[in-house]
Structure 1
Amino acid sequence: MTDPILERLADDFVEQAGQHDWHFASALSPERQKALLASCDVLVCARLTPEQAQGCGARYVHITGIGADRVAVAHLPAGTIVSRTGHHERSIAEHVVMVSMVHQRRLLETSRELQAGIWRTVATAPQTPMNPTFSGLTFGFVGLGGIGEQALALCNALAARSVAVRRSPGGALPAGLEWAKTMDALPELLSASDVVVLGVPLTAETTGLIGASQLRQMRPGALLVNVSRGPVVDQDALFEALVNQSIGGAALDVWWDAPSGVVAPEAVRRFAQLPNVIATPHNSGHTLDTFGSRVSEIAQNITAFADGRSLTNQL
C-alpha cells in the first residue's frame, strides 16, 4: 500500500484481511517502494506514474478512490486486474446540505458581523432579510449519480423541492424529484433553482458547462455548489458573477489547480477572499465513514482475488 491516507487505517486492513502479508510503504524510500512494486501480488494505491506502472508486478491493483486519472492504468502490464472504490456519496451529500444551510441562513455573514460587535437581526435592523427554510427552496441537480441521489434524499427529508437534468432521464423518477430532463433543459433548471448542485463527471462535454451565459440564467440569490470538478465551471465567468453579485454565492470544494503541499493555489485564494464564497479544500468526502468503507471493500476484494472470486467496482 502506497496511499498515505488509507495507511492511517493500517490496523483495520490487518484486522479485516490479516491472512495476507501487508507492506505499508508510503513513507519508504523510492528505491524500496520500487522493489515492493515489482514483487507484490496486489498494489493498493492512489497514484501511480507511468514509470511505476511499467515496473509493477502486481496482478491486481486496487485504486483507493473512484477516479483513475492519477493512476497510469494504461501502462500496467497486460492482464493486470484493476478495481476502484467510492463510498463518498453520503459524506458529500451532507456537505451539499451543510453549505446550502450556511448560505441560506447567512451564517458566515452574521458570524462576521457579531465578531465585529454588530448585533443585526430582524428585531434590531428592519432591513435584515428573513431567512428561508428548506421547504421554501428548489434544488437543481446537474447530474444525478450517487452523490446527487444521496443529496436528493436529504433534501427530501427537509421538504425541499428538487429538479434535475441528466444524460439519461428515462425510467422512474427517484422519490421526491419533481422532474428530470435531458441536459438540454439546463437553462430551465438554472432559472428555477435556489441551489444548483453540480455532480457531473469531467468530460469534453461537461468542460465549461457553466459559463457566463449559464450564470446569467441563475436566480440573483442562488447558490452554485460544485462538488464535481473545477473545469466544469468557467473560472473567470464565475469570479465576475460573484464580484458583481449577479448570483448569491458559490460553495466550491473542487478547483482548477492542484495545491503544492499545504499551500493553496492562487485561484483558490482568489475566490476564498470573496465574502459570498464558501471555500473548502476538496475535502467534502473526507470522513471516517468514507475511508472506513473503502478499507472494508478493498480488504474484501483482496480476499476475493486470492480466492478466485468476482470483484466489486472492477474497471
Structure 2
Amino acid sequence: MLNHRILSRFHEPLKARAEGRHVWLDAFDWDAGRIAGALPDVEVYVGSKLRAEDARQAARLRLVHVVGAGYDGIPLDALHPGVTVATTHHHGPSIAEHVLMAALMLSRDVLTAERELRAGRWRNVAVDPGLPFGSTLRGRRVGIIGFGETGTEVARLCQAVGLGVRAVRRDPTAPFPADLRPDWIGGDDRLPDLLTESDIVVVTVPLSPATRGLIGPAELKAMGAGSLLVNVARGPVVQEEALYEALRSGTIGGAALDVWWSGPPDPPSRLPFHELPNVLMTPHNSGHTSDTFAARAAEIADNIVRLERGEPLVNVVRAGDTRAAAQWTGSALRDSARPSGGPLPPGH
C-alpha cells in the first residue's frame, strides 16, 4: 500500500523497480475507512503516518517503509512484533542548497529589494547613500546544530563558498565525511560557543524532548544583532515567542524559516511573522525536489525487493522479530474472525 501524496507522483518508477508479483494499492487519496479496510491484507505499507488502530489490525504486515527520515508518525508500539520499520533520506543536498540560498537572500536583503522594485521603487546604494551594504558569505562563519545527513551537506556547500564551519552534535567523536574541514565539532555543551562565534546559525537537529525549545531568549541574545538563523529542522526546536521578539526588536538580524509551529490548514504561527521584513518564509518545502523523491522511490523499491528475497534491508530503525511474529499473527488472525469490537490479542 502506497499512502503518500508526494511519493505517489513517482509510483510508476517505484512499481517498475520493485519487480515481482506485487499488487499495489495507491491509497494516498483514500479516506480513513477505506485504508482501514484494506490494511489487514497488506504486507508492505509505504507512508509517513499510520493510525494506531489500523496498525493493530494489520496482521499480515511485514514492512512499514517511512517516506523520509522521521518516523514519529508511525505507532511502533501498535505494530505486531514481526513488522520491520525502515526509513529513507536523500534530502540533505536539496535542503543544503535551500540553506545557502536563504543565507544569501538574507545577507543581500533580497526580500526588501524585490518587494520595493515590484512597487516601482529603485532603491540601492547608488541612489540611497543611507542604505546599508549587503555582505558576501566568504569569510563569515556558519554554526550547524546537528551534523547528520543535512548538517554535513550544509557544511559541504558552505565551505565551498568560503564560510568557516563549526558544529555541535550529540556525539562529537563520531566520524564525518573526509572532504569536510570544520573549524571544530563539539558536543551539546559547546552550543554557547557555537552561538557566539557564528554569523549564521543553521538548525538541523530532529525534534525530541532534548531539543524541544533548544533555542530560546538566552540563545538568541548570544547570537547577536547581525546574526542570521536558518531553521530547516522542526519549528518547536526554536521557541516561537522568543524568536518573534528577537526578530522584531533586532536582537538578531534575520531568520529563514522553512518549518513552523503548526501546519495546514492552520497558519504557520499564531504570531505575525509575515509582517516582519527580516524573515524569509517557506512552507516546509526545502527538501521537496525531484532529486529527493526519485532517490527515495528507488531506495524504497530496492528494500521491497530485498524483503522479498530475504536479504537484509537498509535504514532499518526497528527490526521485526519473526519468531514472536508467528505467534502474534496466529492470534491476530483468529481475533479477526470475531465480530467487530471484540478484544485485541493480549498486550496489543
TM-score bracket for the superposition, by shorter chain length: over 0.9
Where does residue 165 of structure 2 map in the other structure? 162
Do structure 1's residue 194 and structure 2's residue 220 form an aligned pair? no
Q: In the alignment, is the contact (CA less than 8 A) between 1:85 and 1:297 conserved in 2?
A: yes
Kept after mapping to 2: 8 A contact 1:25/1:33: yes
- Report what 1:117 is aligned to: 120
Query: How far off its partner does 1:170 sit?
Result: 2.1
Find the residue that maps to 1:177 and give its secondary structure. Answer: coil
> Between Structure 1 and Structure 2, whose CA radius of gyration is higher?
2
Query: Aligned equivalents of 1:266 and 1:203: distance in 2?
Result: 20
From 308, 311, 317, the equivalent of 1:309 is 311
C-alpha distance in 2, partners of 1:33/1:171?
A: 41
2:45 aligned to 22, 43, 46, which one? 43
- Offset of residue 216 of structure 1: 0.6
Render the CA deviation track for 1:128-170: whole Å, top value 9, x for unaligned: 2222212132111111111010011001111111111222222
TM-score, length of structure 1 as denominator length: 0.94
Which residue in 2 is equivalent to 1:70? 73
- Per the alignment, residue 25 of structure 1 pairs with 27
Q: Which moved more, 1:289-298 or 1:172-181?
A: 172-181
Q: Percent identity?
A: 43
Return closer, same or farther for 1:55/1:173 CA change in 2, 3 Å cut-off.
closer
Q: Which has the higher contact order (CA 8 A, sep 6+)?
A: 2
- Range with bigger deviation, 191-200 or 24-33: 24-33
Offset at 1:233?
Answer: 0.9
Distance 2:222 2:31 in 1: 52
CA contact (8 A) 1:229 1:255 kept: yes
**Misfit runs of 4+, over 6 Å:** none
User: Aligned residue for 2:12?
Assistant: 11
Q: Report the counterpart of residue 229 of structure 1 in structure 2.
A: 234
Whether the 8 Å CA contact 1:192–1:219 is kept in 2: the answer is no
Structure 2: which 5+ residue stretches go unaligned?
318-348
Describe how 1:90-105 pairs up with structure 2 within 5 A. 90-105=93-108
Q: Conserved in 2, the CA contact under 8 Å of 1:173 and 1:179?
A: no
Shift of 1:197: 0.3
SS at match of 2:201: strand
Shift of 1:172: 6.3
Q: 1:172 to 1:314 in 2, by over 3 A?
A: closer
Task: For 2:88 and 2:43, locate their aligned partners in 1 and report how far apart those are by CA, in whole Å.
Answer: 19
Give the equivalent residue in structure 2 for 1:248: 253
Decide whether the 8 Å contact of 2:107 with 2:134 is kept in 1.
yes
Counterpart contact for 1:193–1:219, Cα < 8 Å: no
Q: Is the 8 A contact 1:165 1:186 kept in 2?
A: yes
Offset at residue 6 of structure 1 (A): 0.9
RMSD value over aligned CA atoms?
A: 1.6
**Matched residues, number:** 312
Asked whether the 8 Å contact 2:62–2:84 carries over to 1, the reply is yes
Q: Deviations over 1:63-92 (max 9, x none)?
A: 112111111121011211111111111111
CA distance in 1, matches of 2:127, 2:63: 64
Could you tell me how far 1:173 is from its partner in structure 2? 6.8
Distance 2:87 2:68 in 1: 6
Shift of 1:266: 4.1
Q: Provide the secondary structure at the position in 2 that maps to 1:103.
A: helix
The whole-number CA distance in structure 1 between the counterparts of 2:212 and 2:80 is 31
What SS does the corresponding residue of 1:85 show, helix, strand or coil? coil
- Deviation at 1:32? 3.3
Query: Partner letter of residue 14 of structure 1?
Result: K
Q: Does 1:136 align with 2:139?
A: yes
Q: Is the 8 A contact 1:223 1:248 kept in 2?
A: yes
Corresponding residue for residue 188 of structure 2: 183
Pair 142,29 (structure 1): closer, same or farther in 2 beyond 3 Å: closer
Distance 2:165 2:242 in 1: 26
Shift of 1:118: 2.2
